């Protein structure tokens, strides 16, 4: 059995503290999953920066490029999702929201999601609770209760240890949520359709 984790990271710089947070949250989760029987864990990273132009075209035309479609499928088919976005103007980034906007309907329903965010100061930390949580609750995701916000000062030598502890705690809690959750099977509305010939037979009868 293979367990798939999709990692959505919306940082726009290289290197990116948002990508670093996403990687560390994923590592903590995978490490904690070793204590649970979920099988082999496969991680697929979706770096929103790489498909920024494709996202704009998708919003305008309604069609996803092949590269973007591969990433959308990875998210929709994942057993769990790790999210990390920078905070701009007290909310998630617009580029990140564009990705969410073009996801297939119900793509994240019943999917466990671990939230992470980065910002210049700790004053932006409330963005997780007033912006990210409502967004993913609206999408029907199983949002992990423990999230991580990393301000610029959290990466310093003194605070890095505390950030590491928070990341480990979030990863452990997320692994417990994942192992205890059972994602409902997706239903194809066209899988069980009455053949047209049968409907005609019923009408004639």
- Structural domain spans, the chain: 2-204
Homologous superfamily of domain range 2-204? Flavodoxin domain (3.40.50.360)
pLDDT tens digits, residue range 168-204?
999 999 999 998 854 444 444 445 555 556 545 555 5
Helix pair angle (17-33, 160-180), 10° resolution: 50
- Name residues of the chain where pLDDT drops below 70: 157-160, 181-205
155 secondary structure, DSSP code: G
Q: Which bin fits 45, alpha (ψ -120 to 50), beta or left (φ > 0)?
A: beta
Global pTM value: 0.84
Nearest CA-CA partner of 21 in 99, 117, 114? 117
| Residue 170: per-residue pLDDT | 97
Residue keyed to tokens 């209760």: 145
Q: What is the pLDDT of residue 183?
A: 45
151: closest CA among 170, 130, 133, 126? Answer: 126
Quote the pLDDT of residue 184. Answer: 42
Residue 49 and residue 80 in contact, taking contact as beta carbons nearer than 8 Å: no
What pLDDT sits at residue 123? 84
Asked if 114 contacts 144 with a C-beta cutoff of 8 angstroms, the reply is yes
Q: Is 172 helix (H, G, I), strand (E, B) or coil?
A: helix
Nearby residues of 131 by Cβ (< 8 Å), 6 or more positions away = 90, 91, 92
Stated length of the chain? 205
């Amino acid at each position: 059995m293979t367990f798939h984790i999709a990692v959505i990271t919306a940082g726009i710089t290289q290197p990116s503290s948002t990508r670093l947070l996403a990687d560390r949250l994923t590592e903590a989760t995978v490490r904690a999953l070793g204590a649970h029987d979920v099988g082999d864990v496969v991680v697929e990273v979706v770096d929103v920066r790489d498909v920024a132009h494709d996202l704009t075209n998708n919003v305008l035309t309604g069609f996803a490029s092949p590269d973007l479609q591969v990433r959308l499928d990875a998210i929709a088919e994942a057993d769990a999702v790790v999210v990390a976005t920078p905070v701009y103007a007290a909310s998630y980034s617009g580029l990140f929201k564009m990705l969410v906007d073009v996801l297939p309907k119900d793509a994240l329903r019943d999917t466990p999601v671990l939230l992470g965010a980065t910002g210049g100061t700790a004053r932006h930390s409330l963005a997780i609770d007033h912006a990210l949580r409502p967004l993913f609750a609206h999408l029907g995701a199983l949002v992990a209760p423990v999230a991580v916000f990393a301000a610029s000062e959290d990466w310093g030598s003194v605070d890095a240890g505390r950030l590491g502890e928070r990341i480990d705690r979030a990863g452990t809690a997320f692994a417990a949520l994942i192992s205890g959750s059972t994602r409902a099977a997706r239903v194809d509305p066209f899988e069980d359709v009455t053949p047209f010939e049968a409907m005609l037979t019923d009408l004639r009868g």
